[in-house]
Chains A and B, each alone.
Chain A
Amino acid sequence: MGTILAICLKDLRLLLRDRAGLFFTFAFPLLYALFFGFVFSGGGDESERRIPLRLVDLDSSAASAAFLDSVAARPGLNAVRDSLAGAEAAVRRGRATAALIVQPGFGARGERLFGGEPPAVELLHDPARQAEVALLQGVLMEQAFKGLEQRFSTPRSFLPQVRAWSDSLARPPAARPELDYLRRWTGELGRFLESRAVAESLAAVQAGTADQGGGFLQGWEPLRVTARELVAERSGPQSSFEISFPQGLLWGIISVAASFGISLVVERKEGTLRRLRAAPLKRRQILAGKALACFLTILALVLLLMLIGRPFGVAAERPLLLVAAGLATAFAFTGLMLLISVLGRSERAVSGLGWSLLTVLAMLGGGMVPLFFMPEWMRTLGTVSPVKWSILALEGALWRGFGWTELLPVCGILLAFGAGCALVGLKAFRWSDT
C-alpha cells in the first residue's frame, strides 16, 4: 500500500506542478459552471431582471404625475421618465420593452365618473415582447383601480367632483331613463360623502386623528390579493447553477481522465515506466497508484465545486447521496482513464483519440447541451455515456429529489461502466514501446 501511495502522491505532485493541467482540472470547470450559471440565470444584477419601461407624461397634471409615480414604484419594473422621442428611441433600440405615454387630458378626464372620454395612456412596445406587454397591461389596470379606490376612500376631495358631475347630469341633452337613475345615484353618493366627511371631522376632534374604524369604504378596494410564501417540493432546479455546476464538474472530470490517461503514455515514452517496472513492484501496483491519484483528483474536484457552489444554491438536501454520486462518478472515470491510456501508442494518438472519445461521450451524455433539449433518439443514445449517468447521479442528489432507491441503480451503472473500462484497459495496456 505504501508503494501505491507513493505513486499516487507523485502523480498528484506532478499535477500540482503543471499549471496548464491544474487550470483545466480545477479552474476551467469552475469558470464553466459560473459562466453558464450566470448566463442562464439572466445575469446577476437584480435591475437587469426587471422589465425596462420608459414613462412619458404628455399631460403634465397632478393626476398624471401621481399615476406615473405609482407605476414607477411597482416592483418588477425598471421605470425611467423620458421624453416622447427618447422613449420611442429606447424601445426601437431594444433598451426598453415598452414606453408608457400618458396622453393630454388625462387629469381632466379622470375627474369624470361613468361618462365622457376616459383618461388615456398609450403603451408603445416591441412586438417581440408580447408576454411582458401583457404583464404591463395588467399592472396599468391595477393602478387604475387603485385610483378609483383612492377617490372613494377620501370623501372630502371626491365630493366636489361628484357634485359637479351631478350638476352636469341635471341638464340631460334628451330624456333618457338611465341618466335619470344615474342622476339620483350621484345625488345619493354626494349625500353619503358629505355624511362621511362630517363623521371624519367629528372623529378627528374627539380622538385627535382621522377615523380609522367603521371600515365602510375606508380603504375600499375592488379585490384584495395577498401573497404568502410556501416552500415548494423540489421537482426542478432552483437555479441555473444547479445545472451548470454538474456540467462544469463533468468537464473537469473529463479533463482529469484524459490527462491521467495520457500521463501513462508519457511515462512509457520517457522511460520512467521502465524504471518503475524494473523495481520490485507488481504491475497492478503501478496502475493502482495511478488510478488512485486520478480517483482522488476527481473527488477533490467534486468537493471543490460543491463547496464553491453552495453560495450559488448548489447544495444537496441529503449530502450522503451526493457523496455516493461523487464516488461512483470518480470510479467510472478512473476506469475510463485506464481505457484511454490504451487507445494509441504515442502521446499524440492517445491525446487525440482520448479527447475525441470523451467529447463524443460528453455530447451524448448532456455534457454540452442538457439532454432535455435533445431529440428522443439522442437521449436514448446517451444511455451509453457515463456522462449522462454521472450528471443524473449528481443532479439526483442535488435537485431531482432522488432517494437511495433511485440513486443506487444509477451508481451501479457507473460502477459497472468503470469496472468494464478498467478491465479492458488493464488487459490491453502496453507496458513497453516495442
Chain B
Amino acid sequence: MVEGLHFSYGERRAVDGLSLELRPGEILGLLGPNGAGKSTLMALLCGLLLPAAGRVRVLGGDPCDPRIRARLGLAPQELALYDELSARENLDFFGRIQGLRGTRLSGRCAAVLEETGLAGRARDRVGTFSGGMKRRLNLAVALLHEPALLLLDEATAGVDPQSRLALFELVENQRAAGRGVLYATHYMEEAQRLCDRVAIVDQGRLLALDTVPALLAAHGSSQLEAVRGSETLHVETRDPLADLARLQAAGPLDSFTLRQPDLEQVFLRLTGRHLRD
C-alpha cells in the first residue's frame, strides 16, 4: 500500500502524490507509457528508493526491512541475470541470496525450471538463450523463494507470442496460489487480459484505478463506423443499438462496424495522448 507518495529525480517528478492498495491474491496492473513512473514505484516498493514524501507499507511492514524483502519477488525490467552462468547456476546463486539452502534450494530450483519450461536448458549458459527464455528465467528467479508479493516490471518486454503466453500462465498461477502481483506494463492488451484491477498512471500520477470493465464503462465508449454509399460515418456511442437505429432511419446503410472500447481509448481520454506516445 502506498499513500501520497512523492519522488523526484532532481527537478523531474517521477511519482507525484500516488496512492494505491494491492489486495491479497490480486493482480494489479500498473498501466502507463514509458517514463510514467512505474519502475520508480517498483523501486520504492522494494525499498531501493526512499520516498521524498508519503508512506510505503508492503506486506504490513517497511520494505527496507530485510524480513519484508525476503517475502518480495522482483522481476526487474532489465534482464538481471548473469549471462556467463548457466540457468541453474543463476538460480542457485539468487536462491542463496534469498536464504535458501540445501534440499530446499535444489528443490525450488528444479521446480521453477519446470514451471518456466527451462528444465531442458538448465545447464546451458544464459548468454545462449533467446529473449523469451531469458524473460522466463528472469521471472523464475523472482519466484524462487515463493514470495508473498510479486513485483513484475515489464515482464514480457521483447518476447515472442509463445513465451508471452507462457509468462501469462505463470502469472495467473501466482494468483491461483494466493499471491499478490503488481504487474507494470505499457501493453494495454496484457493489462486487460491479466489484471483484476488496473491503475492508469502518467507522469507519476494515478489517473484511474478500477477493474477493466469499470474503467471501460467510466472512460470508454464504442466506435460505430457506418457506410452509406460513398459516405463513411464515425460515431462514438455508449448505446450502439440506439445510435445504429438513428442512422438507419436517416437513410439505408450499406454496412457498419462496431468497435468495443479498450484501455488505449481510456488512456487517450484521460491524458489526451496514446499509450505508446
Scan B79-117; emit 1 where CB is below 8 A from any A CB, else 0. Answer: 111101100010001101111010000000000000000
- Are B97 and A277 within 8 A (Cβ)? no
- Smallest CB separation, A420 vs chain B (Å): 29
| Contact residues, A237-295 vs B (CB, 8 A) | 270-272, 274-282
- Are A278 and B84 within 8 A (Cβ)? no
Q: What CA separation (Å) do A7 and B93 show in the bound complex? A: 8
The answer, among A3, A7, A275, for a CB contact under 8 Å with B141, is A275
Q: Which residues of B contact A235 (CB under 8 A)?
A: none
Q: What CA separation (Å) do A431 and B167 show in the bound complex? A: 30
| Contact residues, B221-263 vs A (CB, 8 A) | none
Q: What CA separation (Å) do A9 and B89 show in the bound complex? A: 11
The answer to whether the Cβ of B1 comes within 8 Å of any Cβ in the partner chain is no
Q: Which residues of A contact B67 (CB under 8 A)?
A: 280
Scan A407-434; emit 1 where CB is below 8 A from any B CB, else 0. Answer: 0000000000000000000000001101
The answer to whether the Cβ of A177 comes within 8 Å of any Cβ in the partner chain is no
Q: Which residues of A contact B85 (CB under 8 A)?
A: 10, 13-14, 17
Scan B53-70; emit 1 where CB is below 8 A from any A CB, else 0. Answer: 000000000000011011
- Are A278 and B96 within 8 A (Cβ)? no
- Are B78 and A270 within 8 A (Cβ)? yes
Q: Which residues of B contact A6 (CB under 8 A)?
A: 93, 96-97
The answer to whether the Cβ of B76 comes within 8 Å of any Cβ in the partner chain is yes
Q: Which residues of B contact A233 (CB under 8 A)?
A: none
Q: What CA separation (Å) do A280 and B69 show in the bound complex? A: 5
The answer to whether the Cβ of B266 comes within 8 Å of any Cβ in the partner chain is no
Q: Which residues of B contact A279 (CB under 8 A)?
A: 69-70, 94, 97-98
- Total interface residues on A, using CB and 8 Å? 25
- Smallest CB separation, A331 vs chain B (Å): 25
Q: Which residues of B contact A9 (CB under 8 A)?
A: 93
Q: What CA separation (Å) do A14 and B127 show in the bound complex? A: 12
- Are A275 and B80 within 8 A (Cβ)? yes
The answer to whether the Cβ of B214 comes within 8 Å of any Cβ in the partner chain is no
Q: Which residues of A contact B141 (CB under 8 A)?
A: 275
Q: What CA separation (Å) do A278 and B67 show in the bound complex? A: 11
The answer to whether the Cβ of A18 comes within 8 Å of any Cβ in the partner chain is yes
Q: Which residues of A contact B78 (CB under 8 A)?
A: 270-271, 274
The answer, among A10, A18, A280, for a CB contact under 8 Å with B98, is A280
- Smallest CB separation, A54 vs chain B (Å): 60
A9 (CB) vs chain B CBs: closest residue: B93
- Are B69 and A271 within 8 A (Cβ)? no
- Are B48 and A274 within 8 A (Cβ)? yes
A282 (CB) vs chain B CBs: closest residue: B66
Q: Which residues of B contact A281 (CB under 8 A)?
A: 66, 97
Scan A3-42; emit 1 where CB is below 8 A from any B CB, else 0. Answer: 1001101100110011000000000000000000000000
The answer to whether the Cβ of B195 comes within 8 Å of any Cβ in the partner chain is no
The answer to whether the Cβ of A2 comes within 8 Å of any Cβ in the partner chain is yes
The answer to whether the Cβ of B72 comes within 8 Å of any Cβ in the partner chain is yes
The answer to whether the Cβ of B171 comes within 8 Å of any Cβ in the partner chain is no
- Are B82 and A278 within 8 A (Cβ)? no
The answer to whether the Cβ of B200 comes within 8 Å of any Cβ in the partner chain is no
- Are A274 and B66 within 8 A (Cβ)? no
The answer to whether the Cβ of B46 comes within 8 Å of any Cβ in the partner chain is yes
Q: Which residues of B contact A2 (CB under 8 A)?
A: 96, 101
**Told that A17-B125, A274-B48 touch, could you supply 9 new A-B pairs with CB distance under 8 A?**
A3-B99, A10-B82, A18-B84, A272-B81, A275-B141, A277-B48, A278-B74, A279-B70, A432-B48
Tell me the A residues contacting B by CB distance below 8 Å.
2-3, 6-7, 9-10, 13-14, 17-18, 270-272, 274-282, 431-432, 434
